[in-house]
Each structure stands twice: as C-alpha cells, then as structure tokens.
Amino acid sequence: MGNLSAAASRRSIDRIFEAASHIDRAVTARDIMGHLRSGIERYGYVACLITQLPQQKTGSLAEHILLNGWPAEWYRHYQAERHYRNDPCAALCRTGVGPFVWSDVRRRLTDPSARQVMDEAEEFGLRDGVCIPIQVPYGEPAAVTVAGTEIDLAPEARCSVHALSRHAYTAALRLAGNAGRAPEKRLSDREREILQWTAAGKTAWEVSVILGISESTVNTHLRNIRQKLNAANIAHAVVEAFRRHEIQL
C-alpha cells in the first residue's frame, strides 16, 4: 500500500511539475493562461483571473488585472455593475492568507449586495470557485481566482490549483516587468536533502533509512518545510521548492 501511495504521489507531482514548467517558460499572456487552464481544467475549473486588488471603493478592477480569463460576458457585466465594490471574495482576498472556496463564503453572507454578486456569477456559469490571496509586502495585495460550474475540491485538486495559480501569478508579474529578484532560500541543507529524496518518490521511512535518522525526525522536517514554503501538502512543497531553486527534479 505504501508503494502504491508513493507512486500516486509521484504521478501527482509529475503532473504539477509539467504544467508549472510550461507556465514558467511561457512568453505571452495567452500562453500563461492556456497552460494554467490545461493544468486545472481536469478538475472542472474553466475561468481564471489574476489581478492586483485596489481598495474596493474604486469599484473597478480593469487597470489592475494582470491576466483575464473570465468569460467575456461576465467580465463586462461585472465591470458595468461595478460589482468589485461589493465582491465578498475580493474583500476576503485583501486580508486573507490562505486559499478559500466561494461556497464557504456564500454560506456566511448576510449582505444582500454581496450575495447579489455571487448569485449573478452563478447565472453566468460560475457556480463555485477557489481564490488564492497573495499578500505583497509594501504593495497592493493580489489574487488568483479560478472557477467553474462543477469543481473538484479533493486534496490533490486543491494542491494542483494552488501551486499552478501561484506559478501563473509569478509568470504574469514577470511579463509585467515586476518580478524583482529571485526569492531567497528558506530551507536548511537537511530540509532540502529530505525534500529531494521525497520528490524522488521515497517514503518518510525510506528517507530515514537513507539518511540514518528516525522517521519521526523526517516527518518533523517535512512539517517545517510545509510551513516555511506556505505549502498545502508535500506535493505543493516540492513544486514550490523547485520554483525557488531549492531542489532539483
């Protein structure tokens, strides 16, 4: 069972890595959006938006959007109605630090204007979605939003969506000329070593044997790695560590 689980994990990592590599090499906005969609459409996500988030009193996102993959009719309607002012997901993205699901937001709504935004999105075929807030030091927050009619919220799907959305955001900034310098390394030498073996498909027990340490120590390092990289799980941590040039695949 352990070998089957490790093999499934490796396949998941391979799929994320392949899609992330295509996004990283993209040279046009259309390519970035196309590769993001191809990586997440198997999970039911068909619409994507990558944008910076100005104060909501502005009522408009147009000049802040980095990549627009919304359905054209919904985007025109959203802008014409100035829905950004009342969009509850945009409000949560401005202060949030972790991904969240539209349906979870909808269940807590009491403001009729906010509910109208989400009800009308559903009328345009965007029944549910996931938002990935991105807090930018000394700058406007940003977000990647992906949506569809029937979306998969299983752990593998959420990990893939989160990881690829972050890659797409970074690629969009690169095209906009705002990528800045390469990120500083966050992992220790031991953590990189453990994650390198994990990326190769080794279980925590196998890594412990290879490195001559206890399995509990390996698992402790893996927890620390996830926290340092703000990763949802180890597959996501592998992708993020590769993006940051902490490990090789």
pLDDT at residue 9, rounded to an integer: 65
Tokens of 182: 């390469």
pLDDT at residue 70, rounded to an integer: 95
| Residue 129 host element (H or E) | strand 128-134
CA 171, CA 66: separation in Å to the nearest integer?
Answer: 10
Per the listing, tokens 């390092």 go with 221
- The phi, psi pair for 67, rounded to 5°, reads -145, 130
Mean pLDDT computed over 213-226: 95
Confidence of residue 55 (pLDDT cuts 50, 70, 90): confident
DSSP assignment, residue 150? S
Average pLDDT, the chain: 88
| Residue 19 host element (H or E) | helix 2-25
How many other CB atoms are found less than 10 A from the CB of residue 173?
Answer: 18
Mean pLDDT computed over 92-117: 94
pLDDT digits (tens, 9 = 90+) for 172-213: 988 887 544 445 567 999 999 999 999 999 999 999 999 999
Identify which has the larger pLDDT, 46 or 181. 46
pLDDT at residue 179, rounded to an integer: 46
For the purposes of burial, counting CB atoms within 10 Å of the CB of 29, is it exposed (0-12), middle (13-18) or buried (19 or more)? middle
Q: State yes or no: pLDDT of 11 exceeds 90.
A: no
Identify which has the larger pLDDT, 244 or 100. 100
Mean pLDDT computed over 112-136: 95
Q: Which long-range contacts (CB under 8 A, 24 or more apart) does 24-31 make?
A: 24/167, 24/170, 24/171, 24/243, 26/171, 27/175, 28/175, 29/67, 29/172, 29/175
For the purposes of burial, counting CB atoms within 10 Å of the CB of 138, is it exposed (0-12), middle (13-18) or buried (19 or more)? exposed
Tokens of 119: 């009800």
With a CB cutoff of 8 Å and minimum separation 6, the contacts of 246 are 185, 186, 187, 192, 195
Q: How many helices (H) and strands (E) does the chain have?
A: 11, 5
CB of 20 closer than 8 Å to CB of 239: yes
DSSP assignment, residue 230? T
First-to-final CA distance of the chain = 25
Mean pLDDT computed over 139-148: 91
Claim: this prediction has a pTM higher than 0.75: no
